[in-house]
Chain A
Amino acid sequence: MPHYYFDVHDKDGIFHDEVGLDLPDMETAITEARRALADMTKEMLIGAGAEGIQIIIHDGANGPVRLSVSLETTRLGEHRPDG
């Protein structure tokens, strides 16, 4: 079974995966990364200041695959100057 590494880029830095996981194929690795983004996004949204997370999957053979989640906050009201 191929071995996949999942590097995480988030507000605390870049975490290079040194352990990895044995998975049948890249599709399964992407599903695993989506699951990880789901629970990491929950924490990211609660904490202040964080606006994005990326997971880059390496398998050593095919090109890496990147999954990213980002949050955008847009203030839609018109800016009213004081006074």
Chain B
Amino acid sequence: MIEDIDALVRKLERRDTVSPEERAALLAAAGPMITFAAGTDLVREGDRPDRSMLVAQGFTTRYRLLGDGTRQITAIHLPGDFVDLHSFLIRTMDHSVGALSACRVVTFPHTNLRMITERYPHLSRMLWLMTLLDSAIHREWIVAMGRRSALEQLAHLLCEIFTRLSVVGLGDRDRELILPINQTELGDTLGLSTVHVNRTLQQMRAEHLITWQGQTVRILDWQRLAGIAEFDETYLHLDAEAR
């Protein structure tokens, strides 16, 4: 269904042009749609999937579990993101992917992705670009975890999520969003304790930077929040140019 790949097409068109043939090729490569309940895994560390998954609806995370039971979330994926495009080539999953909220994903059998790489070089480069964007985001997260304060780090994550959602038409800096992520999950994402995340969120509320009620989040002062985060969207590569 065309609407299931719509977020991906929006994400690609923000950076380049998707021809009608390429759009048709993506649709033709799509396999069955699968739904996952919140809290379940889409794919687990050690699995050798024969298909990659594109998020059509919902929020997912990539994560690693450590021996002492702690968890580090290494990525948050939104609609339009391939959660495991790389499993096409790396074969064995070195991390798991879990559903933060109820999710709907489009599967892409690896044999169909191979066909795309053989017949559609420009579309292949755009898919390659999607994995490069994932690694650009990872770099930014490493910088944040290594060098930013809890307030700066959380501000940066919120600026990023709002920006990424606006790219796929699911959000706006001036409108409230549903973020299905609790304080423990935020802590696992930022490498901070739950209590520290809670204290930092309260500081943001007290300083009238955001409101956060349940899962509803609104940014009250984008300029100030982006200033605290030193948010520079260059790493999201939002310019459309021939790739």
Count chain B residues whose beta carbon lies closer than 8 angstroms to a beta carbon of A: 14
Main secondary structure of the interface of B (DSSP, over half): helix
A15 to B183, CA, bound (A): 15
A39 in contact (CB, < 8 A):
yes
A21 in contact (CB, < 8 A):
yes
Most chain B CB within 10 A, of A8, A32, A38, is at: A8
Inter-subunit contact B149/A6 (CB<8 Å):
no
**Provided the pairs A12-B203, A15-B199, A15-B203 are in contact, do residues A36 and B194 lie with their beta carbons within 8 angstroms?**
yes
Q: Which residues of B contact A43 (CB under 8 A)?
A: 149-150
A65 in contact (CB, < 8 A):
no
Inter-subunit contact B193/A19 (CB<8 Å):
no
What sequence of 0s and 1s flags, for each residue 1-23 of chain A, a beta carbon within 8 Å of any chain B beta carbon? 00000101010110111110100
B198 in contact (CB, < 8 A):
yes
Inter-subunit contact B202/A40 (CB<8 Å):
no
A74 vs chain B, min Cβ distance (A): 27
Most chain A CB within 10 A, of B149, B150, B192, B196, is at: B196
Inter-subunit contact A39/B150 (CB<8 Å):
yes
B195 in contact (CB, < 8 A):
yes
Most chain B CB within 10 A, of A15, A16, A17, A18, is at: A15
Inter-subunit contact A15/B202 (CB<8 Å):
yes
Docked complex: B171-203 residues within 8 A CB-CB of A: 183-184, 192-196, 198-199, 202-203
Inter-subunit contact A21/B192 (CB<8 Å):
no
B72 vs chain A, min Cβ distance (A): 14
B186 vs chain A, min Cβ distance (A): 11
Inter-subunit contact B198/A19 (CB<8 Å):
yes
Inter-subunit contact A33/B149 (CB<8 Å):
no
Q: Which residues of B contact A32 (CB under 8 A)?
A: 193-195
Q: Which residues of B contact A40 (CB under 8 A)?
A: 150, 193, 196, 199
A39 to B150, CA, bound (A): 9
Q: A15-B203, A21-B194, A33-B195 are in contact. List 12 more A-B contacts (CB 8 A).
A: A6-B195, A15-B199, A17-B198, A21-B184, A32-B193, A32-B194, A32-B195, A35-B193, A36-B193, A36-B195, A40-B150, A40-B196
